[in-house]
């Protein structure tokens, strides 16, 4: 290699800073900076100028960190950044006087040489080079990336487009063709419930029994319990049911969006309360939630006699979570101006 | 290994000749376990009923299958300590029978991925399908991520610095610094889980400051993953003939992909 700036297999001799560097300079320079000999005049002033020393050291450190941070950038065969770094270092080296700076110079040389070695191996490898960036782009397309605009600026690598939900699953299925993974062993019907040792069992049964009975008689006892302890909640739930029914009766054919129903655009805490109370309606089978064509949740009251609370129809549970940020986004998305459920204080009973 | 016909054997099926990586005549000592000699095994077998041996074999098979759920390799020391126990004097025979069961009943192969530390895994003995199975079974998205990582490592010659992997993942919208909605703690998954499963090796590069590591294929990857198929996939993605990557093509086709025990992996580095 003519311009062995990176060193290739032979690492530039690392004697103490100056001697080794002079020799390497003569190998490296293409005639632009022929002599890097130190003149006698420089020795007196620069030696002790602390400011200059610090500056040199700081510049070396910058160079080193720039090589480390932009490693992949420098590896790209399309630019000469590594050469520029070395030329910069050459310039700096002229002013090096003390061991500390020379040590930094040596460190830079180690880092740059390492990079150069990798660049050299890129040059020598036969066949097409493999570019991980291009690979990533192709993979994204494979996984079904929906690019938003037709003209993307690929160099900028800005995140544009959505990856579908099953993106990684698509790749996983393709991976099945490359892997000889043993299928994982699972019992087909699941495992049977192994009985715990007797003492535990007794305790568990005791605990279980009351809750089961409690559940069964809950519908009748519920009112009593809540009146004594949670009267307010019960009343609130009924009030909300009233809103739901009247809203529904206004137009039985048009579905009520769940979000529009529960969200109070003026108060996040009220929204959370509404969600909480509405969940009781669902639990007791007085309202039902479903997804419309656009997969948005809607809520509707249940006709009397259609479903019995605690009945045998299949129950589905879900957990709802909301944060102030999501709440605001929903208000914007659905353009909610005022709340369907009026806050209790403003309502005259 | 030579074929042996045992007089008291109840199995009529012919004894398979396993590839040498299984019950090698090695003399190296485990800290807690010395491989019994063939004569010791013979004597041990004579003292037990066939039913006992079958039972013990079945227990070993079960142990492996459960351990394989998480794709964790099985250590011989653990196997002997927890399952084989008193039957350790006929350990090689039990392992041989277990391997036969895996092969004939489950279509799996028992592979020793680490002859030094005596670790085993199960791989599929069936050929990899040419395209995805028409059966819609749930797929594990982690395998997709693993494929991406293994591909990069292979195409880059077998070793890459960790930053290359992290940067590539970032371009795939997976940031190791953030919690990913599908994978969670990505860094932990890649440097801990995949490494313990032996899909990857994550080794510190000496003399680096700050500390850097490099990634290589792990022993399980060597046994399970087909380089030929990966190269085919690269060809599809880049719309190129896999042969254009001459070095990688040569590497992929240099060894038969079926039994890549750890001994062969060193020649690929």
| Residue contact B245–A140, C-beta within 8 A | no
Q: Is residue A212 part of a domain?
A: no
Q: Is residue B21 part of a domain?
A: no
Q: Residue A343's pLDDT is what? A: 79
Q: Which of A282, A284, A278, A333 is nearest to A310 (CA)?
A: A284
Contact list, A186 vs chain B (CB under 8 Å): 69
Q: Which of A128, A171, A182 sits opposite B245 (nearest CB)?
A: A128
Which residues is A290 bridged to in the sheet? Answer: A298
- Tell whether pTM > 0.80: no
Q: Is residue A299 part of a domain?
A: yes
The CATH number linked to B249 is 1.10.10.1210
Q: Residue B12's pLDDT is what? A: 39
Task: Report the C-alpha gap between B176 and B185 in whole angstroms.
Answer: 7
Q: Is residue B79 part of a domain?
A: yes
Q: Which of A20-24, B70-74, B184-188 shows the lowest per-residue confidence on average (mean pLDDT)?
A: A20-24
Provide mean pLDDT across the span A112-141.
Answer: 80
Q: Is residue A10 part of a domain?
A: no
Q: Residue A124's pLDDT is what? A: 57
Per the structure, the count of domains in chain B is 2
Picking from A61, A96, A125, the residue at the C-terminal end of a domain is: A125
Instruction: Kindly state whether B240 is in contact with chain A, defined as any CB-CB distance less than 8 angstroms.
Output: yes
Task: Report the C-alpha gap between B105 and B102 in whole angstroms.
Answer: 6
Tell whether the model's pLDDT for residue B86 goes beyond 80: yes
Q: Which of A2-6, A142-146, A245-249, B71-75 shows the lowest per-residue confidence on average (mean pLDDT)?
A: A2-6
Q: Is residue A18 part of a domain?
A: no
Of residues A54 and A317, more confidently modeled: A54
Looking at the fold, whether B44 and B106 belong to one and the same domain comes out as yes
Tell whether the model's pLDDT for residue A9 goes beyond 60: no
Chain segment B161-172, per-residue pLDDT in tens: 899 999 999 999
Picking from A125, A142, A160, the residue at the C-terminal end of a domain is: A125
Looking at the fold, whether B219 and B146 belong to one and the same domain comes out as yes
Extract the tokens encoding A61. Answer: 């450190």
Q: How many CA atoms lie within 13 A of A156 on its CB side?
A: 6
Q: Is residue B25 part of a domain?
A: no
Provide mean pLDDT across the span B46-59.
Answer: 91
Looking at the fold, whether B43 and B109 belong to one and the same domain comes out as yes
Provide mean pLDDT across the span A200-229.
Answer: 50
CB B203 within 8 A of CB A112: no
Task: Report the C-alpha gap between A214 and B196 in whole angstroms.
Answer: 48
Closest approach of B52 to chain A, Cα-based (Å): 24
Domain span at residue A300?
255-305+316-334
Q: Is residue B182 part of a domain?
A: yes
Q: Is residue A108 part of a domain?
A: yes
Q: Is residue A79 part of a domain?
A: yes
Residue with tokens 């792990």: B218
Looking at the fold, whether B189 and B103 belong to one and the same domain comes out as no
Looking at the fold, whether B149 and B223 belong to one and the same domain comes out as yes
Closest approach of B170 to chain A, Cα-based (Å): 9
Looking at the fold, whether B158 and B112 belong to one and the same domain comes out as no
Looking at the fold, whether B201 and B104 belong to one and the same domain comes out as no
DSSP letters, A300-340, are EEPPTTTS-TT-SSPP--------HHHHHHHHHHHT--S-S
Looking at the fold, whether B180 and B81 belong to one and the same domain comes out as no
Q: Write out the H or E segment, with its range, that includes residue A345.
A: none
Q: Residue B19's pLDDT is what? A: 40
Provide mean pLDDT across the span B110-135.
Answer: 83
HEC string of A136-166 equals HHHHHHHCCCECCCCCCCCCCCCCCCECCCC
Q: Is residue A81 part of a domain?
A: yes
Q: Within 10 A of A146 (CB to CB), how many other CB atoms are there?
A: 9
Q: Which of B122, B238, B244 sits opposite A138 (nearest CB)?
A: B238
Of residues B223 and A314, more confidently modeled: B223
Averaged pLDDT of chain A: 74
- The pLDDT-based confidence of A349 (bands split at 50, 70, 90) is very low
Which residues is A133 bridged to in the sheet? Answer: none
DSSP letters, A224-269, are HHHHHH-HHHHHHHHHHHHHHHHHHHH-TTSPEEHHHHH--TT-HH
Backbone phi, psi, residue B183, to 5°: -105, -15
Q: Within 10 A of B239 (CB to CB), how many other CB atoms are there?
A: 7
Q: Residue B137's pLDDT is what? A: 74
Chain segment A64-119, per-residue pLDDT in tens: 888 888 877 777 777 788 888 889 889 888 888 888 889 999 989 988 888 888 77
Q: Is residue B233 part of a domain?
A: yes
Domain span at residue B104?
38-124
| Residue contact A182–B68, C-beta within 8 A | yes
Looking at the fold, whether B117 and B184 belong to one and the same domain comes out as no
Looking at the fold, whether B120 and B201 belong to one and the same domain comes out as no
Q: Is residue B11 part of a domain?
A: no
Q: Residue B35's pLDDT is what? A: 82
Chain segment B20-29, per-residue pLDDT in tens: 334 443 333 3
Q: How many CA atoms lie within 13 A of A107 on its CB side?
A: 20
Q: Write out the H or E segment, with its range, that includes residue A115.
A: helix A99-124
Of residues A312 and B178, more confidently modeled: B178
Q: Which of A228-242, A286-300, B116-130 shows the lowest per-residue confidence on average (mean pLDDT)?
A: A228-242
Q: Which of A45-49, A79-83, A85-89, A182-186 shows the lowest per-residue confidence on average (mean pLDDT)?
A: A45-49
Interface test with A, best of B134, B237, B256 (most A CBs within 10 A): B237
Chain segment B194-245, per-residue pLDDT in tens: 999 999 999 988 777 788 899 999 999 999 999 999 999 999 999 989 888 8
Q: Is residue A220 part of a domain?
A: no
Picking from A80, A101, A125, the residue at the C-terminal end of a domain is: A125
Tell whether the model's pLDDT for residue A224 goes beyond 80: no
The CATH number linked to B104 is 1.10.10.1200
Tell whether the model's pLDDT for residue A18 goes beyond 50: no
Q: Residues A35-61, buried b or exposed e (16+ Cβ, 10 A)?
A: eeeeeeeeeeebeeeeeebeebbebbe
Of residues B207 and B54, more confidently modeled: B54
Q: Is residue B134 part of a domain?
A: no
Tell whether the model's pLDDT for residue A209 goes beyond 70: no
Q: Write out the H or E segment, with its range, that includes residue B204.
A: strand B200-204
| Residue contact B139–A172, C-beta within 8 A | yes
Contacts of range A329-332, beta carbons closer than 8 Å, 24 or more positions apart: A330/A259, A330/A263, A331/A263, A331/A265
Averaged pLDDT of chain B: 81
Per the structure, the count of domains in chain A is 2
Say what percent of chain A tops pLDDT 90: 6
| Residue contact A132–B130, C-beta within 8 A | no
Chain segment A270-287, per-residue pLDDT in tens: 999 999 988 888 888 888
């Amino acid at each position: 290699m003519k311009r062995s700036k990176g060193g290739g297999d032979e690492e530039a001799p690392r004697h103490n800073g100056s001697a080794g560097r002079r020799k390497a300079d003569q190998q490296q320079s293409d005639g632009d900076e022929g002599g890097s000999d130190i003149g006698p005049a420089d020795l007196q002033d620069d030696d002790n100028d602390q400011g200059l020393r610090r500056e040199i050291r700081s510049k070396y450190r910058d160079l080193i960190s720039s090589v480390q941070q932009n490693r992949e950038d420098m590896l790209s065969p399309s630019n000469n950044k590594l050469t520029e770094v070395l030329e910069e270092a050459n310039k700096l080296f002229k002013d090096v006087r003390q061991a500390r700076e020379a040590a930094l110079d040596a460190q830079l040389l180690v880092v740059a040489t390492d990079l150069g070695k990798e660049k050299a191996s890129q040059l020598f490898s036969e066949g097409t080079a493999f570019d991980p960036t291009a690979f990533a782009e192709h993979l994204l397309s494979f996984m079904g990336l929906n690019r938003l605009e037709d003209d993307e600026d690929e160099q900028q690598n800005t995140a544009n487009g959505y990856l579908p939900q099953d993106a990684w699953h698509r790749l996983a299925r393709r991976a099945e063709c490359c892997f000889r993974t043993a299928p994982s062993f699972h019992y087909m019907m699941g495992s049977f419930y192994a009985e715990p040792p007797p003492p535990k069992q007794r305790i568990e049964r005791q605990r279980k029994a009351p809750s089961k009975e409690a559940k069964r008689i809950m519908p009748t006892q519920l009112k009593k319990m809540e009146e004594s302890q949670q009267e307010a909640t019960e009343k609130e739930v009924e009030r909300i049911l009233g809103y739901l029914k009247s809203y529904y009766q206004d137009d039985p054919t048009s579905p009520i969006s769940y979000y529009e129903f529960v969200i109070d655009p003026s108060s996040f805490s009220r929204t959370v309360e509404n969600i909480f109370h509405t969940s009781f309606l669902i639990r007791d089978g007085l309202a039902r939630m479903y997804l419309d064509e656009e997969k948005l949740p809607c809520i509707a009251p249940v006709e009397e006699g259609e479903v019995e609370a605690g009945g045998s129809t299949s129950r589905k549970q879900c957990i709802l979570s909301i944060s102030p940020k999501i709440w605001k986004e929903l208000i914007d998305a659905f353009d909610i101006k005022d709340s369907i459920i009026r806050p209790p204080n403003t309502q005259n009973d | 290994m030579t074929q042996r016909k045992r007089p008291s054997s109840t199995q009529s099926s012919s004894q398979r000749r396993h590839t040498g990586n299984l019950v090698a005549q090695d003399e190296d000592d485990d800290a807690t376990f010395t491989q019994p000699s063939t004569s010791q095994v013979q004597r041990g077998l004579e003292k037990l009923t066939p039913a006992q041996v079958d039972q013990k074999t079945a227990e070993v098979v079960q142990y492996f299958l459960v351990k394989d759920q998480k794709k964790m390799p099985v250590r011989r020391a653990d196997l002997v300590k927890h399952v084989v126990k008193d039957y350790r004097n006929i350990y090689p025979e039990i392992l041989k029978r277990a391997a036969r069961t895996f092969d004939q009943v489950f279509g799996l192969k028992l592979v020793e991925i680490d002859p030094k530390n005596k670790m085993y895994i199960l791989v599929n003995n069936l050929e990899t399908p040419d395209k995805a199975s028409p059966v819609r079974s749930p797929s594990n998205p982690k395998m997709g991520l693993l494929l991406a990582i293994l591909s990069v490592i292979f195409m880059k010659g077998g070793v890459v610095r960790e930053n290359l992997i992290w940067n590539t993942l970032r371009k795939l919208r997976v940031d190791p610094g953030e919690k990913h909605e599908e994978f969670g703690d990505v860094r932990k998954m890649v440097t801990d889980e995949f490494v313990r499963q032996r899909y990857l090796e994550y080794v510190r590069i000496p003399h680096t400051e700050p500390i850097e590591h490099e990634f290589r294929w792990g022993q399980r990857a060597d046994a399970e993953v087909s380089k030929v198929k990966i190269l085919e996939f690269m060809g599809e993605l880049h719309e190129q003939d896999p042969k254009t990557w001459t070095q990688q093509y040569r590497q992929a086709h240099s060894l038969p992909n079926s039994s890549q025990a750890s001994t062969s992996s060193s020649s690929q580095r």
